[in-house]
Amino acid sequence: MEQDTFGFILHPVNIRQDVGRKVPILAKLFNEQQLTFLSRFAPPLYLSQIEGVTSVYDQNKVTGWFVACPYTPEAMLSLPVPEVYNKLVACGKKAEKLGAKVLGLGAFAAVVGDAGKTIAERLDIPVTTGDSYTVYVAVDAAKEAARMMNIDIPNSTFAVVGATGAIGGACAEILAKEVGKLILVGRRDDAVQERVERCQGYLADVEGSTSMDKIYNADVVITVTSAVHAIIEPQHLKPGAVVLDVARPRDVSRLVEEQRDDVLVIEGGMVEVPGDVNFNFNFGFPEGKAFACMAETMALALDKRYESYTIGKELTLEQIMTIGEVCTRHGFKLSGFRSFEQAVSVEHIDGVRERAARNLRHWSPVASS
């Protein structure tokens, strides 16, 4: 019987650190600027074979491959889009030759240009950005973290930064039905107001803004922008706030970790992969754990859904719920939290909650304008 397979494109975010994972000598010989320049001329790079992904539903096993696109986020945003497309298509062709039957686009590879449509048109295998399951897991992780911080979700204020994008917009539309107040933040006022209108008429009182200062009143913040530098600083958050950072590179400044021990910052939710999985490559997660976008690609292969499941700038709630059901059936699930590359323990969350309770005695909300 023919085996089910997948490929997944990674790319460097912190180029010295990420290049060092695969080719340590290059990270020692060249500085960040030199590596960024040289990467423009590098071919797609085979990283590893992924083994052991096994469905708990029907015991189907899939094999996959990591292929690296050498471009950093800054390069993908600054280079001509056709040049970036060519490199990503070359990565896809490499995955095809390895035997992949579906291709996942990681991080900025899923954002550039038309979010996977052109890549899919130019390959012989289907493509997915993984954004549908990313939304599913992000909302699940945000609500679980809120519960652990004793936040009453139906009476709370949630904020979505990057609410005009595909992932942020879909998160906003789901949360509008479940939370008391929803603050949507984006760069363009017209796009923000359009998203506000799509979220109105449900449980949440919805407002939009182009100012990051608006999130200061939020109990929970989901941030998922395409910024290449941090945009959320210590002064933007109230004591006890939960911040779910889905963006890569991260949206939350390191200063938040250093200065605000009364807020809980977590990455976009780790997913436990079913089976005795071996990625044969360290992409920064604990053994057996993956990003949600990776999990979507694996789940499509396990389910034999060889289709371009999530591409383009718009997501539907139906496709988000459907891939959530598919992933759950095969055994993928939310599995713990990480913050700035470190595991988040229950004890850490308890400490944040206690410090926030003390600091909230002296905290004043910002008046709405």
Q: Would you say residue 182 has pLDDT above 80?
A: yes
Q: Tokens 């206690």 correspond to what residue?
A: 354
Number of helices (H), then strands (E), in the chain: 13, 16
The reported pLDDT for the residue numbered 21 is 76
How far does the chain reach from its first CA to its final CA, in angstroms? Answer: 64
What whole-number distance in Å separates Cα of residue 119 and Cα of residue 110? Answer: 10
Q: What is the side-by-side strand order in the sheet with 45-54?
A: 45-54, 61-68, 4-10, 103-105, 127-128
Q: Would you say residue 51 has pLDDT above 90?
A: yes
What are 352's two structure tokens? 């944040």
Q: Is residue 271 within 8 Å of residue 137, measured between CB atoms?
A: yes
Q: Is residue 221 within 8 Å of residue 244, measured between CB atoms?
A: yes
Element at 161 (helix H, strand E): strand 157-161
Summarised one tens digit per residue, pLDDT across range 254-263 is: 999 999 999 9
What whole-number distance in Å separates Cα of residue 310 and Cα of residue 364? Answer: 42
When pLDDT is averaged across residues 143-149 and rounded to a whole number, the result is 96
The reported pLDDT for the residue numbered 369 is 43
What whole-number distance in Å separates Cα of residue 352 and Cα of residue 368? Answer: 27
Summarised one tens digit per residue, pLDDT across range 224-251 is: 998 889 999 999 999 999 999 998 889 9
What whole-number distance in Å separates Cα of residue 342 and Cα of residue 144? Answer: 18
Q: Is residue 138 within 8 Å of residue 324, measured between CB atoms?
A: no
Summarised one tens digit per residue, pLDDT across range 313-353 is: 999 999 999 999 999 999 999 998 999 888 899 999 999 99
What whole-number distance in Å separates Cα of residue 250 and Cα of residue 248? Answer: 5
What whole-number distance in Å separates Cα of residue 31 and Cα of residue 36? Answer: 9
Summarised one tens digit per residue, pLDDT across range 67-85 is: 999 998 888 888 999 999 9
Q: Tokens 């095969």 correspond to what residue?
A: 330
What whole-number distance in Å separates Cα of residue 211 and Cα of residue 213? Answer: 5
Q: How confident is the model at residue 367 (pLDDT cuts 50, 70, 90)?
A: low
74 Cβ neighbours under 8 A, 6+ residues apart: 36, 228
**Pick from 112, 84, 69, 73: nearest CA to 250:** 73
What whole-number distance in Å separates Cα of residue 320 and Cα of residue 168? Answer: 13
Integer angstrom CA distances of residue 215 from 33, 41, 90, 221: 34, 41, 41, 7
- 80 cis-preceded (ω within 30 degrees of 0): no
Dihedral (Cα; 96, 97, 99, 103), 10-degree rounding: -20
pTM for the model stands at: 0.92
Coil, helix or strand at residue 46: strand
Summarised one tens digit per residue, pLDDT across range 2-35 is: 899 999 999 998 777 777 777 788 778 888 888 8
When pLDDT is averaged across residues 116-136 and rounded to a whole number, the result is 97
Name the maximum alpha-carbon separation found in the chain.
Answer: 66
Residue 228, CB half-sphere, CA atoms under 13 Å: how many?
Answer: 13
Dihedral (Cα; 91, 92, 95, 97), 10-degree rounding: -100
Q: Is residue 129 within 8 Å of residue 103, measured between CB atoms?
A: no
How many C-beta neighbours within 10 Å does residue 324 have? Answer: 20
Domains and CATH numbers, the chain: 4-132+271-334 (no CATH), 133-269+337-362 (3.40.50.720)
Mean predicted lDDT score pLDDT of the chain: 93
The reported pLDDT for the residue numbered 1 is 63
DSSP letter (8 states) at residue 360: G
Say which amino acid occupies 211.
Answer: S
